């Protein structure tokens, strides 16, 4: 576990804290709290606009706050270098360390991060820009995509209004600092932006005369006011044990799949880059949903974004994956009717026919009886087929979960009853229909169960 020699863990910090935080950034400090150095950027235009992000606590979505771009420094990384790296990753703005002024301010904070009480020392740099520029979220991590709601350029009036509405702004002194810098500019003085509540909390921790047994740990609630609801030294809370399941966010019903996953007891995150996937199953994702869309477009986007080969590797390594409609096509080892040169992920020993049920106008709904999916005659599963494929042949080890009963006209004949439309092979699940659109999450229940079983192995 990363810690300094002789450092004693604070009672408010769970024993497995190092599994919840990035060990490259966080170390157990002398006060017993995980500690990291961080750098942030105050990007300010000539018109007085400031670049800010707004996010929420994934464990408490009602808890929201406004903040500047920035983050933790890598081991041995210079603060200015880390500041411009974080700025590029979070906003797409690329500048050199020499373009920054400062640090113009420092801040020590006690905060909750990934459900762990932590301590952070921040250096804030000033970046002056002639005008607001376009922003890009392509570099966001899976955590940032899950927790950050928006980013943009704020006017002084926007910031003032947010404060009047009682919205949390970090650091607390940011509105006044922005107004000062937009007016007279930076005077060369490094300001201390430590919040008063944090300063009070940090005092006993910095005092070597206070033994660990007397470190402040309140009974249940935060010692801070309702205006600042983040916990200071909370009673240790339960670790979020839900599996983290990504939803490939290139096309399709990303929001609907995410809601169905939440209803099924999983934590859903959007996946838009190879970085979001991680290098091995369980590192960033416990499972992945490949939603519907247009399979040729999706395979092209996977290749263009450098995700095709990493995802093939993860599936081969045992990452549970569920593909609906176009996702079923991508998970097939063999595809009939594929475009020339089209790439697939593979993994399920089956032959799938693209657009087997016909064109968009041939889309239809059917009640399926599929005991393996929890659907019987009294409680059938409403399946929505939109330019859907079907399974022509299921190979060895492929479990057939559902077939059509009546169906609609296919491309080569009037009858399609008895077509295979749901299969499973090991940790891979595929359906020709869209279970996410009707509010019935029985298929997602099955997949979350498969992911949970894979985590236990």
442, 375 in Cβ contact below 8 A? yes
Question: What would the two tokens of residue 122 be?
Answer: 């921040």
- Under DSSP, the state recorded for 37 is E
Say which residue the tokens 């477009």 belong to: 297
Of 257, 434, 441, 444, which one is the catalytic site residue?
434
Of 54, 86, 366, 436, which one is the catalytic site residue?
436
Active site residue 434: yes
- Separation between Cα atoms, residue 85 and residue 455, nearest integer Å: 34
Question: What would the two tokens of residue 393 be?
Answer: 């042949």
Active site residue 436: yes
- Under DSSP, the state recorded for 384 is E
Say which residue the tokens 């891979």 belong to: 428
- Separation between Cα atoms, residue 398 and residue 327, nearest integer Å: 16
137, 51 in Cβ contact below 8 A? no
- Separation between Cα atoms, residue 442 and residue 432, nearest integer Å: 15
- Separation between Cα atoms, residue 299 and residue 314, nearest integer Å: 16
- Separation between Cα atoms, residue 199 and residue 202, nearest integer Å: 5
- Separation between Cα atoms, residue 371 and residue 153, nearest integer Å: 53
- Separation between Cα atoms, residue 239 and residue 16, nearest integer Å: 10
Active site residue 441: no
Question: What would the two tokens of residue 237 be?
Answer: 């809370």
In 3D space, the residue among 67, 84, 70, 76 whose CA is nearest the CA of residue 25 turns out to be 76
- Separation between Cα atoms, residue 217 and residue 233, nearest integer Å: 5
Torsion of CA 292, 294, 298, 304, to 10 degrees: -160
- Separation between Cα atoms, residue 435 and residue 367, nearest integer Å: 11
Of 325, 366, 441, 444, which one is the catalytic site residue?
325
Whether the bond into 103 is cis, omega within 30 of 0: yes
Identify each DSSP E strand in 189-253 by its residue range. 191-192, 244-248
The binding site for L-glutamine comprises: 293-295, 354, 386-387
Question: What would the two tokens of residue 343 be?
Answer: 């790439």
Alpha-carbon distances of 107 from 7, 34, 50, rounded to whole Å: 23, 16, 19
| Contacts by 299-304, CB closer than 8 A, 24 or more apart | 299/330, 299/342, 299/343, 299/344, 301/250, 301/251, 302/250, 302/343, 302/345, 303/343
- Across the chain, how many H-helices and E-strands are there? 12, 22
Question: What would the two tokens of residue 260 be?
Answer: 């169905």
Which residues are designated catalytic? 325, 434, 436
């Amino acid at each position: 576990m990363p810690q300094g020699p002789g450092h004693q863990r604070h009672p408010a910090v769970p024993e497995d804290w190092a599994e919840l935080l990035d060990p490259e950034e966080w170390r157990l400090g002398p006060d017993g709290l995980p500690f990291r150095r961080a750098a942030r950027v105050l990007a300010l235009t000539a018109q007085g606009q400031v670049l800010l992000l707004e996010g929420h606590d994934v464990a408490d979505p009602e808890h929201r706050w406004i903040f500047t771009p920035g983050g933790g420094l890598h081991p041995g990384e210079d603060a200015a270098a880390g500041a411009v790296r974080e700025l590029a990753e979070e906003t797409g703005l690329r500048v050199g360390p020499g373009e920054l002024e400062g640090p113009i301010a420092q801040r020590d904070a006690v905060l909750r991060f990934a459900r762990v009480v932590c301590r952070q020392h921040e250096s804030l740099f000033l970046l002056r820009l002639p005008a607001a520029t376009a922003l890009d979220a392509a570099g966001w991590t899976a955590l940032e995509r899950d927790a950050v709601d928006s980013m943009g350029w704020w006017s002084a009036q926007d910031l003032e209004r947010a404060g009047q509405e009682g919205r949390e702004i970090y650091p607390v002194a940011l509105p006044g600092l922005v107004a000062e810098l937009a007016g007279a500019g930076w005077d060369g003085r490094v300001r201390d932006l430590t919040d008063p509540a944090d300063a009070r909390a940090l005092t006993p921790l910095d005092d070597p005369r206070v033994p660990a047994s007397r470190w402040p740990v309140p009974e249940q609630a935060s010692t801070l006011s309702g205006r600042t609801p983040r916990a200071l030294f909370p009673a240790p809370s339960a670790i979020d044990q839900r599996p983290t399941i990504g939803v490939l966010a290139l096309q399709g019903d990303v929001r609907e799949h995410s809601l169905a996953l939440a209803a099924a007891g999983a934590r859903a995150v959007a996946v838009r880059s190879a970085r979001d996937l991680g290098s091995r199953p369980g590192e960033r994702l416990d499972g992945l949903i490949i939603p519907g869309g247009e399979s040729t477009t999706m395979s092209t986007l996977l290749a263009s974004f450098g995700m095709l080969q990493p995802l093939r590797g993860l599936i081969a390594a045992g990452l549970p994956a569920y593909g609906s409609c176009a996702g079923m096509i991508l998970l097939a080892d063999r595809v009939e009717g594929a475009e020339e040169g089209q790439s697939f992920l593979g993994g399920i020993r089956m032959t799938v026919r693209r657009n087997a049920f016909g064109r968009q106008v041939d889309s239809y709904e059917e009640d399926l009886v599929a005991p393996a999916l929890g659907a019987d005659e009294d409680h059938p599963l409403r399946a929505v087929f939109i330019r859907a494929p079907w399974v022509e042949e299921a190979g060895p080890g492929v479990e057939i979960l559902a077939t059509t009963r009546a169906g609609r006209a296919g491309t080569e004949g009037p009858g399609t009853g008895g077509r295979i439309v749901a299969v499973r092979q090991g940790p891979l699940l595929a359906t020709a229909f869209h279970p996410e659109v009707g509010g019935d999450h029985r298929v997602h229940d099955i997949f979350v169960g498969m992911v949970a079983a894979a985590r236990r192995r």
